[in-house]
Amino acid sequence: MSGTYKALGINLKSAPLGESDRLLTILTEEFGLIRAVAPGSRKHKSSLGGRSSLFVVNHLLVAKGKNLDKITQAESQESYPGLSHDLGKLTAGQYLAELALMQAMDDHPQPELFCLLREHLSRLEKMPTAVTLPCLVHATYHLLALAGLPPQVQTCCVTQQPIMPNFADPSWRVGFSTLAGGTFLLSALDRLKAEHLVPKAAAQSGQSLGTPKGFSSSPKLARASDLYVEIGAIELDILQQLAQPDLIQSWLVSDSSKVPIVSRIWLSLERILRQYAQYHYDRPIRSATLIDACFADALPVCDP
């Protein structure tokens, strides 16, 4: 890129710069991540004020600079005002923005990531507030899949045998191992430990597993006891359906009462995918702390 260039981009991060400017991190369709100054955008009557807000999609004209590029024109194409009116939705949107930033690249076209993020932000805005957490889990899985990092959920990641949820047995469980890459049969636990536990892993930090329960707050697994968590038939069934593009919509259309809305099931799945994403990207998802606060009073589980 040289001189000036045009791009279609969505604002994912903003920081004050100088007395009245903003430094924006923008995911663009044509160039991947760019960082550009929105001059004067913090002034009361600036034409770039609203256009530099989080999650606004703009047609941009950008001047290439020696150190920082500068936005010279911006024409808004889309925004998601419904996100800012609901704390849970806004936090979920920030969570997805963090995931997109983790996998976005500079100076590289990323139309698939750009379109997928916009699609899920739009769904998050338009869906009922009650399904915010299911929408977040669904979007997280799709972003991981686009990055080539979907957890293995249809088969045992140790034996490669198909796993089918057993709804007839309330005590039925399988394991989910971030380190191994997905679900596994508990009968294969000894083999899993033999293949994935090494002395240095067990010798690392003795950090408590208090937040969230059953997981280390560190991006990397810290202890032998972090190797896996157990999940039931409902969790596995949902995990196995997350690849479907219109999963939440189809549930709502068929029978909204059957969606396990803002339940401990969805909290469990969010935390599983959170730990999985943090481990593979080796970075914490900072918005996850607010997710915990927003959905601390989860409703009892309902069967899907």
pLDDT at 296: 79
Instruction: For the full predicted model, state whether its pTM sits above 0.75.
Output: yes
Instruction: Please provide residue 56's backbone torsions phi and psi, each rounded to the nearest 5 degrees.
Output: -85, 135
In CATH, 4-79 is 2.40.50.140: yes
In the chain, the N- to C-terminal Cα span, in Å, equals: 50
Among residues 176, 140, 184, 166, the alpha carbon closest in space to that of 278 is found at: 140
pLDDT at position 161 is: 97
pLDDT for 214:
43
Strand 4-17 to strand 57-63: parallel, antiparallel, or no bridges (unpaired)? Answer: antiparallel
Nearest to 230 by CA among 166, 184, 180, 292: 184
Please report which residue ranges of the chain form alpha helices under DSSP H: 81-84, 87-103, 111-126, 132-146, 189-196, 199-203, 233-241, 247-255, 264-281, 288-294
CB < 8 Å & 24+ apart, contacts of 282-287: 282/219, 282/220, 283/102, 283/219, 284/217, 284/219, 285/95, 285/98, 285/99, 286/98, 287/91, 287/94, 287/95, 287/98
* Tens digit of each residue's pLDDT, the chain (304 residues): 568 999 999 999 999 999 999 999 999 999 999 999 999 999 988 989 999 999 999 999 999 988 899 999 999 999 999 999 999 999 999 999 999 999 999 989 999 999 999 999 999 999 999 899 999 999 999 999 999 999 999 999 999 999 999 999 999 999 999 999 999 999 999 999 888 765 444 444 333 333 444 444 444 544 545 689 999 999 999 999 999 999 988 888 775 555 555 478 899 999 999 999 999 999 999 999 999 998 877 544 444 4
Q: Given the DSSP bridges, would you call strands 182-184 and 229-231 parallel, antiparallel or unpaired?
A: unpaired
